[in-house]
Amino acid sequence: MGGIGFKEGANWNKVLIAKFFWAVSSKQDILWVKWIDSIYLKGQNFWDYKVQQDVSWYWRKIVNMRVVFPSKILDEAAKSNKISLRAVYNRMLNKDRVSFANVVWCTIDLPKHRFILWQATLGHLLTRDKLHFCQLKLSSLLCPVCEEEQESHSHLFFACPFSQQVR
């Protein structure tokens, strides 16, 4: 999705709670699910359950999060008695992968090369023009390869005579 792959903590915690939704709604053979069914649900459907006043605070919080994850999202992410938390997370973010993700995060490349390519595709390389903008004192702003123009992202990858020869 354009980043390094770290998940947003708050959203990831919500997705982990969605795993409990799925376990309870699909009546998984887990002790916790059986306990919830016998104490709170008492045979009712999880999605139709109305929160009572005498329930514990954690159960109330979990049930109130049903608005974040409708059953349709969980059903789409569930396959053969398992749920894909990655699919739920991606659906929750409602973002598509960027076109360069497979090229940048290829497992064959070294991590250092992946990171540099990621920075280059986003235009975040620390070129001399950006360093000068940050008020760093440099001996020269010219491209160290051709020494003809000011070093910038577009010059390094597209206008520099050396990069045109390499392509």
Residue 1: the pLDDT is 53
Task: Report pLDDT for 112.
Answer: 87
Task: Write out residues in the chain with pLDDT < 70, as ranges.
Answer: 1-5, 94-98, 167
In this structure, how many other beta carbons lie within 10 angstroms of the beta carbon of residue 15?
Answer: 23
pLDDT at 3: 61
Q: What is the pLDDT of residue 34?
A: 93
Task: Say what the pTM is.
Answer: 0.54
